[in-house]
Structure 1
Amino acid sequence: MSLQSFLRNTVREGDLTLELPGGHVLKLGDGSGPPLKARITSAAWAARIAAKPGLGVGEAYVDGGLVLEQGDIADFIDLIGANAKFKKRKKRGPLARWWRDRRREANHRRAARRNVAHHYDLSNELYRRFLDEDMQYSCAYFARPDMTLEEAQLAKKRHIAAKLALQPGQTVLDIGCGWGGMALTLAEETGVEVDGITLSTEQLALAQQRAEAKGLSGRARFSLTDYRDVPGPYDRIVSVGMFEHVGRPNYQAYFDGVARLLKDDGVALIHSIGRPEGPNVTNAWVAKYIFPGGYIPALSEVLPAIERAGLYVTDIEILRLHYAETLKNWRERFADRREEIAGMMDERFCRMWEFYLGISEMAFRHRGHFVFQVQLAKRIDALPVTRDYMGEAERALTSPARRVA
């Protein structure tokens, strides 16, 4: 299919004027919405985009092959996202699927460390420029639409804490602890002891500094440890935004590990992005430039591994559009500090991350991506049989008088 045919079939809504190499101009869409103008700078770039749109559009924008002359990249991505339709893919055979999963997502220990470093060891100062004050790099929880990002991220942590049914003195494992915000909040507000593990040296150093500064280093401990190497056991396990890096070949080992690390009356809460259309593939551009080895799971891929591990699913919650709003906040904050970030990194990096944040928001706003929180237990009676305790605990955590120093 030619690039012109592809674009005419894809962009049916909106108002996009696209100048092709040689001066030919395409008017695309039905004229609705803000007008956008873009230009493809060479025949070589046009061919690359036509051959592999999922990879080529991002590469063209980052490297100057696609130039926006009216509107910005967020507007352009929003238009493409609003027009995107799910396409049925030809089903691969079991051998082809097995080889694809192991080639792209095997994530053995050395590869997992390398993939984490690619994204999370860039610079703590980069992430300070667009995240909230606690440096939460996962979906916030907008309990009210007027919440600030800081308020919504604190609400997320308390929402998860309530589901864990924590008691002072319990031991908690935080798999993929990031810069330590979740572990520190749990230790400070609920009186538990937390072991946070990460594969990022940058995250580890800052998490340890923050624990020391808060006087919590005795109850919030951090280490550079693979989840497969933790001894345990623990009363509680929490993992927020890490499961997307596990890879399908490791799902069974991951949940077997959760079962092994939980005490008999233990509870786990896994918070992850989910895809709505069933098993699929990672966007080629994201896999190459942003999250090598990453994969967003469908629940249909996750639940069988949980069942085989002998764990009970005691609660599932789907957070819709919360991540779209989170990403909008990050994208706007990134834009506000863009000059500083370009000075720290470079112009190409800024264009890459503008595209990454934009297509990520589009996936949640237009393509149905969501966040799931799956609560797990080893015993059927490990938790109350109604969800009332969650709301009660969440309300209690908002009262300063109830927090444990």
Structure 2
Amino acid sequence: MNPTDVTIDAATRQDWRTRLLLRRLERLQSGTLELLLPDGGRACFRGAVDGPSARVKLHSSRLVSRLVTGGALGLAEGYMAGEWDSPELAVALELLHRNEASLRPAVPALAWTGKMLGRLRHRLRANSRRGARRNIAYHYDLGNSFYARWLDETWTYSAALFAYPEQPLAEAQRAKYQRLLDRLAPRPGEHILEIGCGWGGFACYAAAHADVRVTGLTLSEEQLAFARKQAEAAGLSDRIAFVLRDYRDVTQRFDHIVSIEMYEAVGEAYWPDYFAAIRAALKPGGRAALQAITIDEAGFELYRRRADFIQRYIFPGGMLASPSVFGACAARAGLDERERAFFGGDYARTLARWDHRVTAEREAIVAERGETFYRMWRYYLAYCTAGFSSGHIDLMQIVFEQPGAGE
């Protein structure tokens, strides 16, 4: 491979941390990075392979110390602390992700210690029944007023499916709901269980458009109260029941099951329980339609050995499976797979819409929660966008069937 094309202002080599960073970036293999330095200097790195082009403004060389001790997590924490910026944050993160293998240093003792502490912290946030309620509250009970600032009118906090790029977000969310319903093909009056009902968007859509009954499970007090009010306002309370209940505590059987981006919060140790609960709750011949974020097969083993930014700051106790691991877990539980399809590009587009709304609400969010929280949330959205754009993560809709129809 050809060496990286590097242009560096001479004055930028004076600070040892800056020199360390520049030497590492000289290993960039894909795309182009323009780095604006705290002293006013500029460095440009162009890899031999085409890729994203990004500009990063380094406000403080303290970021380098974070990178040495924390790696990718240090990069996130440096952004939260205001030590660097980029006019197109998601593009910058995609560029860095595509070059992760070449830029990653040999793990020094301090970084190894940090990774071990991160793994330990992640394990202490395991999703036992008590832990699951705590972890869900950490994320979803931030307050409905916060989510109202950037979710669309359907109050849907999962990927939409777009028929065309400019399609209104609410319309694309309803298209996602309809596709899941189409996979189930429920008959009027049948009973659907939704594991992880959020603010009630799918349940209300299904009850209104498919003439079915829906029981929605949540562990969030904030979501529960809102979902019940939404169903009542839509005149659907007679067909929808929202309950505060763990999926492991379901004893009733249902005609079909839907679970939209919920398994991600379950945790790897509890995946067998999750799929066993789905099988136990499905009537013979019933179908389960799941929408799930997956991680690429090649990166799964490395990912599962270290706690990342999402697990540390956004979804404590969470974990992604690769498509093959996801399917194998379901098969071991006795579920028959019927189909799967992937929509990673739609998630990247959904995240871009959310980020646009969050950015527009910056002043209000900072006033309520502070600058660090605002930067953390923007990093979260950009981090996910970069993952979908690079193919590191993907969005899967997958359908399972309970064996034994007619028994």
Deviation at 1:234, TM superposition (A): 0.3
Deviates more, 1:44-53 or 1:291-300: 44-53
In structure 1, what is the Cα distance between the partners aligned to 2:27 and 2:325? 32
Instruction: Give the one of 295, 303, 311 matched to 2:319.
Output: 295
The TM-score with structure 1 as length reference comes to: 0.84
Q: Choose 9-18 or 117-126, whichever is displaced more.
A: 9-18
Q: Deviations over 1:119-153 (max 9, x none)?
A: 11101111111111111111111123331211110
Question: Secondary structure of 1:265's match?
Answer: strand
Aligned mates of 1:169, 1:261 — CA distance in 2: 17
1:175 aligns with 2:195: yes
After superposition, residues 204-283 of structure 1 pair within 5 angstroms as: 204-278=224-298, 279-280=300-301, 281=303
Equivalent in 205, 211, 224 of residue 191 of structure 1: 211
Corresponding residue for 1:164?
A: 184
1:39 paired with 2:55, answer no
Shift of residue 116, structure 1, vs aligned partner: 0.7
Q: Is the 8 A contact 1:139 1:323 kept in 2?
A: yes
Q: For 1:80, which of 81, 84, 96 is the aligned residue? A: 96
Among 370, 377, 381, the residue aligned to 1:346: 370
The residue identity in structure 2 corresponding to 1:4 is L
Q: For the residues of structure 2 that align with 1:64 and 1:377, how far apart are their CA atoms? A: 49
Cα separation, partners in 2 of 1:47 and 1:23, compared to 1, 3 Å: farther
Q: 1:54 corresponds to which letter in structure 2?
A: A
Task: Tell me the distance in 1 between the aligned counterparts of 2:366 and 2:103.
Answer: 37
The one-character-per-residue Cα deviations of 1:285-317 (angstroms, maximum 9, x if unpaired) are 221111111111112212222122221111111
Match of 2:222 among 202, 205, 216: 202
CA-to-partner distance for each residue in 1:364-401, whole Å, 9 max, x for gaps?
A: 0013421111111123768xxxxxxxxxxxxxxxxxxx
Post-superposition Cα deviations, 1:72-116, rounded to whole Å, max 9, x if no partner, equal 53453344345445999x9xxxxx9xx989926731111111111
The reply on whether 1:6 has 2:24 as its aligned counterpart is yes
RMSD of equivalent CA atoms: 2.9
**Change in 2 beyond 3 A, CA 1:102/1:122:** closer
Unaligned runs of 5+ in 1: 91-95, 383-405
1:257–1:360 distance in 2 versus 1, CA, 3 Å? same
Aligned to 2:9: none
SS of the aligned residue for 2:138 comes to helix
With normalisation by structure 2, the TM-score equals 0.83
CA displacement at 1:32 relative to structure 2: 9.0
State the one-letter code of the partner of 1:9. Answer: R
Partner of 2:141: 121
TM-aligned CA distance change 1:214 to 1:343, over 3 Å: same
Provide, for residues 43-66 of structure 1, a one-character-per-residue CA deviation record: whole Å limited to 9, x for no partner. x43211133221111111111222
Alignment-derived partner of residue 13 in structure 2: none
Which residue is 2:71 aligned to? 53
Percent of residue pairs bearing the same amino acid type: 35
Q: Which runs of 5+ in 2 are unaligned?
A: 1-18, 107-115
SS of residue in 1 equivalent to 2:256? strand
Q: Name the residue aligned to 1:133.
A: 153
3-state SS of the aligned residue for 2:215? strand
**Secondary structure in structure 2 of the residue aligned to 1:197:** strand
Residue 145 of structure 1 pairs with residue 165 of structure 2: yes
Change (3 A) 1:191 1:19: same
Partner of 2:296: helix, strand, or coil?
coil
Give the whole-Å Cα distance in 1 for the aligned partners of 2:103 and 2:214. 44
| 1: CA distance, partners of 2:122 / 2:33 | 42
1:101 and 1:248 in contact (8 A); partners too: no
Q: Is the CA contact 2:31–2:53 (under 8 Å) kept in the aligned structure 1? A: no
The separation in 2 between residues aligned to 1:29 and 1:152, in whole angstroms, is 37
Distance 2:356 2:384 in 1: 13
Change (3 A) 1:311 1:36: closer
Residue 379 of structure 1 corresponds to which residue in structure 2? 403
Task: Specify the code of the residue in structure 1 equivalent to 2:55.
Answer: L
Does the 8 Å contact 1:275/1:370 carry over to 2? yes
Cross-structure match for 1:19: 37
In structure 1, the residue matched to 2:46 is 29
Deviation at 1:236, TM superposition (A): 0.6
Task: Write the letter of the residue equivalent to 1:196.
Answer: G
Using the TM superposition, name which of 372-381 and 332-341 deviates more. Answer: 372-381
Match of 1:333 among 332, 353, 357: 357
Letter in 2 for 1:364: F
Alpha-carbon distance in 2 for matches of 1:266, 1:25: 61
SS at match of 1:17: strand
The 8 Å contact of residues 40 and 46 in structure 1, kept in 2 or not, is answered as: no
Q: Is the 8 A contact 2:287 2:399 kept in 1?
A: yes
Q: Quick one: which amino acid aligns to residue 38 of structure 1? A: K
Cα deviation, residue 216, structure 1: 1.0
Judged with a 3 Å threshold, the aligned counterparts in structure 2 of structure 1 residues 298 and 25 are, in CA distance, closer, same or farther, namely same
- Alignment: residue pair count: 371
